Chains A and B, each alone.
Chain A
């Protein structure tokens, strides 16, 4: 079958898969941001228990494989009474896994804000919450964006694993097409190109643009 015919025949399925991958990616990023922010801040708490809780979360997810985590969340968690639908299990696990990696980035970027900024906010009588929200986090955001961009690509790649718990994402559809046609080079090759375009020409440029916008906003450009 010529490649063009292959594409026209299966473009619908590639598109469906890509849309599911996009959904998984967007939601996983959301979960990762929340998890990283919470656990990163918890890591800097004065309370030992709070710090320890964050450490357990971070080490647990960074110390095991994403695939093990996915299977565990999907097959074992229901035994504890939490049944997650596969789509939800997919993005939640991917998000929690990369959130643990992001936690260290959050902590590092907050600690990179000069001490004078903390003291100045204190001198202005800001509450700790206001200080964090209005002074520290906006500046930390500028330092965290470049490494976070790399993490975004890792999250996108990580979402491919949800195919193994039968979420019908791009990876899953590609495998099905391969099983039906045995045209492996065409099927897997097309998927590789789609992931590549998505990572290189969408995720990375958006992150670069965000970096520029944020740097301008706090006057570092």
Chain B
């Protein structure tokens, strides 16, 4: 029968809130890796080398079509086989970062390809170097339309952090599991974890939508 125990709730709430901090750190860290690595993937596909473009393209496709959970296991367990021992946190952040870098590289690519060709030609005409062209002409124009997509993947990463519990990262899900196992009570910990996720991701998604709308209006892109 369903009986929600209030005193038990109060007892476990501080532990879960502390674990939510770890969840946020994991999401933030993973996102940082993804943002940087994604840019590397996107730019690597724009080099003149066809081989490099092909390899990166296939790598992105591979990462995007296989489960993150499996990638987490792969990165965590395969290292030691070759003498490279990664901590759960390091393996987790690399796995999540790599997975979302593949998605983000597509967002960047879309953004970059949306910049009109004339901008490239104009930059070339005034003799800007490639680095200058990207930094001062292309990225400032490619970034704003890409921001909404980037924001959505931030929420996506946040919701995928529970998978890190399988290699022992002490985030929300991991803490809820151990509370459940210790007390033989799953109703409160799992429900609270769900509520904490809602409390974080719904406002974030809402903020991203608002920000995107404001940005579009400012750039004259309102549909």
Chain A interface (Cβ within 8 Å of chain B)? 59-60, 62-69, 71-72, 75-76, 79-80, 153, 156-161, 163-164, 171, 174-175, 178, 182-185, 188-189, 191-192, 195-196, 199-200
Contact = CB atoms under 8 A, between A and B. Distances in A.
Given A72-B190, A76-B191, A178 B69 contact: no
Contacts of A192: 62, 66, 70-71, 74
Given A79-B187, A161-B69, A188-B70, A178 B194 contact: no
For chain B, which range describes its interface: under 10, 10 to 19, 20 to 34, or 35 or more residues?
Answer: 35 or more
A174 B73 CA distance: 10
Nearest to B195: A64
Given A163-B69, A175-B73, A188-B78, A64 B159 contact: yes
Contacts of B125: none
A161 B194 contact: no
A67 B163 contact: yes
B186 interface: yes
B62 A196 contact: yes
Contact of A80 (B2, B160, B166): B2
B102 interface: no
Given A63-B197, A75-B186, A160 B65 contact: no
9 contacts: A68-B194, A71-B173, A157-B65, A161-B67, A161-B163, A184-B81, A188-B70, A196-B66, A199-B66
B193 interface: yes
B139 interface: no
Interface in B30-73: 61-62, 64-71, 73
Interface of B is mostly: helix
B198 A185 contact: no
Contacts of A76: 186-187, 190-191
Contacts of A182: 81
A192 B186 CA distance: 32
Contact of B194 (A72, A160, A199): A72
B74 A195 contact: no
B77 interface: yes
A164 B177 CA distance: 12
Nearest to B72: A188
B180 interface: yes
A28 to B, nearest CB: 13
Interface of B: 1-2, 61-62, 64-71, 73-74, 77-78, 80-82, 159-163, 165-166, 173, 176-177, 180, 186-187, 190-191, 193-194, 197-198, 201-202, 205
Contacts of B67: 156-161, 171, 195
B160 A160 contact: no
A68 B23 CA distance: 13
Contacts of B173: 65, 67-68, 71
B67 to A, nearest CB: 4
Contacts of B64: 153
A157 B70 CA distance: 9
Contacts of A67: 162-163, 165, 173
B121 to A, nearest CB: 32
A60 B159 contact: no
A164 B162 CA distance: 12
Contacts of A159: 67
A174 B166 CA distance: 14
A160 B69 CA distance: 7
Interface-centre pick from A156, A183, A192 (highest chain B CB count, 10 A): A192
A142 B190 CA distance: 39
Contacts of B205: 62-63
A129 to B, nearest CB: 31
